[in-house]
Structure 1
Amino acid sequence: MSQTPISAQYPVGIPDAQIIRSDAQAIEVAHRVAAFLLEGDAERDRTRQVPSEVVDVFSNSGLWGITVPKVFGGAEVSYATLAEVIAIISAADASLGQIPQNHYCLLEDIRLQGTYEQKRFFFGLALKGNRFANALSETGGKNVQDIQTRIRRDGDAHVINGRKGYCTGSLYAHWLAVLAVDEDDKAQLAFVPRGSEGLVIVDDWSSIGQRNTSSGTVLAQDLRVPAANLFPTYRSYESPTLAGPFAQITTAAIDAGIARAALRDTIAFVRDHARPWIDAEVEKASEDPLTIIQVGNLGIRLEAAEALLERAGKVMDAARPAPDEDNVAAASVAVAKAKVLTTEIAIEASNKLFELGGTRSTLARHNHDRHWRNARVHTLHDPVRWKYHVVGNWLLNGVKPPRHDWS
């Protein structure tokens, strides 16, 4: 006889966030939080443990509310600023840099499809420091859009049944957003508070990288949701919106942060620990001419990726006041270009760390392999080879990118 699953236990504190008022303040706070997170990054990765107070410091910093529209009391930072904030945090701890990524996407869903009352309520929660996590994707099905979780009306509420996977941040969340398909095969997004009857969070994430994202399983078992907590998310793709580019730029920003971390640790290790090759005939590894060339190449490629990331944010910012077929397509293409370079430099920089650092850089005490593991896992979010296709099809044939979360 099978046992009823019990939700994983994690001490989630009462939210008590400051409110960030500007783009400049968001960047300043991000640097301060990053310095705090960097102190224990390697050890948290090694132990697969994140103390609850660490997550609370992060969300109570106010960074999780920076996309809330000004009319509802938030900073409504630019997309370019948001990408930079995510990259700054991800360079300190890539797992913790990822956990609010879907939180930001969910706030965008609320902005696009929420009623005034829904926006007032959920944006208010975000500004107070509540953390939202996703229960969107599923591990089975023909492809990522084959959603089996169902929602049906039951009196004045709705009931959800299904199994979700890759639920990033679920262990740390105050609220979870569950994606389900209704009787008309339309995708609905239901926000439910942690501890709801019928909501089970399973702490079973066991990937080699992004170890502390808590991207495990969420079960909905006759989970009741009031109508006021339901969002018609399918509408975000029936007309041109920035929902797809938004999801993609936040993902690309995490990869940029991973690349920064890898290059940072490469430079430090080459300067302080690596030995020069005998044929270089120099005193220090940092004077080895071939090493200098490789580090220069990494620095240039990272800066190019960052420049495309910032440019993509600005293209999105230009489209935000009045999105249409053309400017949304241009935003998707701009983000696709950034996604290609952030993916490639994250993998290359995390690999070159070992080549340039030498055998001693692989010792377990350094835990440098976390950068490669994080890059390799996170860049699998969607196949970057299709970004080349998106850009090429746009340039050659004028074909606009498809409208979904991965474009």
Structure 2
Amino acid sequence: MPQSVHSDYADRVEKLAREFASTAIERDRQGGTAKHERDLLRASGLLTISVPREHGGDGATWNTVLHIVRRIAEVDSSLAHLFAFQHLQLATVRLFANPQQQAALLGGTARENWFWGNAMNAVNNQVVAQAADDGFRIDGVKGFCSGSRDSDRIMLSALREDGKGLIVAGIESNREGIDIRDDWDNMGQRQTDSGTVAFSNLFVTSDEVLGPPGPLSTPFSTLRPTLAQLILVNLYLGIARGALEAALDHTRTVARPWPWSGVQAAGDDPYLLQRYAEFWVDLKAATRLADDAATHFDKLWQKAEDITADERGAVAIDVAEAKILATRVGLDITNGIFEQMGARATNAKLGFDRYWRNLRTHTLHDPVDYKKRDLGRWLVTGEVPAPSFYS
């Protein structure tokens, strides 16, 4: 029962899903850069689907993109992460850049099939931009730079040394002054290439700095963090769906009934049936919230600069609701499947632990309690979340 994907892309997505699934467990053990799989994504034509039609892309809706993210995450959440962050960077161009920059960067992506990396970790304030000549000299080290290795372009952010805020630029990944390090070795999301990028006397011209409007300067531009949060929600749901499907298959084909259960097959155990039903209903509810939030987001995306701060706040609430539930349900499922499958399911060769490790790693991206705070404040006072890179 895989996640349904828009018919225009279904065949390509399913082909990729089968290919990724066949090697996912072994690649999870190895970590490192999934070069072959990244090249399959390049060849699929899916890297450019969110580029607007006027710049050579398909102009796919965010609902469509997020459904693809979810489907790929069912089999390999690292590759789903890379695919999702590709489109987050393209959205960054659309939201922050002026028309000439959009034509160059979005059009270039459509023509050249650029794979984008990310060096915009907002928590890391160690990268500084100093005004120099007709541009900036950038120095410092940025962590959690997903997709940076094997990328063609990289989206970076840096704090201006003069205190005038943040600059964002999308430039070639191999430009002199950029050192993309192979140092990502975390317990989950092991092939997201989310290590550090060091900048040393990197020169970025003024024309390459995105804007106007620039980062988070209009209600429309502040949709970037809500999209980033929607991406996380759909990654969580994809991981949870993949874990549930894997556990169900194990129960149907391998699992033994508890000797004192009084049943002949694990699939007849009433306690297992009850828990699977609870998993399914919870996941379906979380998925519905996510789809509703994505539909709302798409409506605002179409309005572009005509959206208001109140409209932006309303969709941020929808996304917060989806994030809270997806986090809880995802962790419950990826942890609880072991009680459904039994002790033999902890055998390392089966790789069932990767679902929990990937989700647990990803759900620490930003504290979900702050989403609960935002939602609670809105419920009590009517105040919507203030735009930031995490809300």
TM-score range, shorter chain: over 0.9
Distance of 2:227 and 2:35 partners within structure 1: 28
1:255 partnered with 2:236: yes
Alpha-carbon offset, residue 280 of structure 1: 2.3
1:150 partnered with 2:128: yes
Distance of 1:260 and 1:380 partners within structure 2: 19
Match of 1:346, as an amino acid? G
Distance of 2:271 and 2:120 partners within structure 1: 46
1:201 partnered with 2:180: yes
1:54 partnered with 2:32: no
Distance of 2:224 and 2:311 partners within structure 1: 13
Post-superposition Cα deviations, 1:149-188, rounded to whole Å, max 9, x if no partner, equal 1112322332111110000011121111221112343111
Q: Which of 368, 374, 381 lines up with 1:397 in the alignment?
A: 381
CA contact (8 A) 1:315 1:330 kept: no
Distance of 1:76 and 1:234 partners within structure 2: 21
Distance of 2:251 and 2:108 partners within structure 1: 46
Matched-pair identity in %: 30
Distance of 2:135 and 2:382 partners within structure 1: 45
Q: Which runs of 4+ in 1 moved over 3 A?
A: 232-236
Aligned residue number for residue 349 of structure 2: 365
> Which deviates more from structure 2 when the two are superposed, residues 346-355 or residues 49-58?
49-58
Match of 2:285, as an amino acid? A
After TM superposition, the structure 1 = structure 2 runs for residues 305-324 of structure 1, keeping only pairs within 5 Å, are 305-320=286-301, 321=303, 322-324=306-308
Distance of 1:117 and 1:98 partners within structure 2: 29
Distance of 2:10 and 2:386 partners within structure 1: 32
Aligned residue number for residue 168 of structure 2: 189
Post-superposition Cα deviations, 1:328-374, rounded to whole Å, max 9, x if no partner, equal 11110111111112111221111112111101000011011111100
Aligned residue number for residue 267 of structure 2: 286
Distance of 1:232 and 1:156 partners within structure 2: 15
Match of 2:164, as an amino acid? D
Distance 1:115-1:205 versus aligned 2 partners, 3 A rule: same
Aligned residue number for residue 29 of structure 1: 12
Alpha-carbon offset, residue 208 of structure 1: 0.6
Q: Which of 171, 177, 197 lines up with 2:155 in the alignment?
A: 177
1:162 partnered with 2:140: yes
Alpha-carbon offset, residue 52 of structure 1: 1.7
CA contact (8 A) 2:159 2:167 kept: yes
Structure 2 unaligned blocks of 5 or more: none
Distance of 2:204 and 2:226 partners within structure 1: 29
Structure 1 unaligned blocks of 5 or more: 1-21, 139-143
Aligned residue number for residue 333 of structure 1: 317
Distance of 1:246 and 1:65 partners within structure 2: 17
Secondary structure (helix, strand or coil) at the match of 2:8 reads helix
After TM superposition, the structure 1 = structure 2 runs for residues 76-87 of structure 1, keeping only pairs within 5 Å, are 76-87=59-70
Distance of 2:265 and 2:114 partners within structure 1: 49
CA contact (8 A) 2:72 2:79 kept: yes
1:104 partnered with 2:87: yes
CA contact (8 A) 2:98 2:213 kept: no
State the aligned residue count. Answer: 380
Match of 2:51, as an amino acid? V
Alpha-carbon offset, residue 135 of structure 1: 1.1
1:347 partnered with 2:331: yes
Alpha-carbon offset, residue 288 of structure 1: 0.7
Alpha-carbon offset, residue 191 of structure 1: 2.1
Match of 1:304, as an amino acid? A
Distance of 1:226 and 1:307 partners within structure 2: 44
Distance 1:264-1:251 versus aligned 2 partners, 3 A rule: same
> Which deviates more from structure 2 when the two are superposed, residues 154-163 or residues 361-370?
154-163
Match of 2:248, as an amino acid? I
> Which deviates more from structure 2 when the two are superposed, residues 253-262 or residues 119-128?
119-128
Query: Normalised by the size of structure 2, how large is the TM-score?
Result: 0.92
Match of 1:86, as an amino acid? V
Post-superposition Cα deviations, 1:305-345, rounded to whole Å, max 9, x if no partner, equal 11111000011122221321121111101111111121112
Alpha-carbon offset, residue 232 of structure 1: 4.1
Distance of 2:325 and 2:45 partners within structure 1: 30
Alpha-carbon offset, residue 29 of structure 1: 2.8
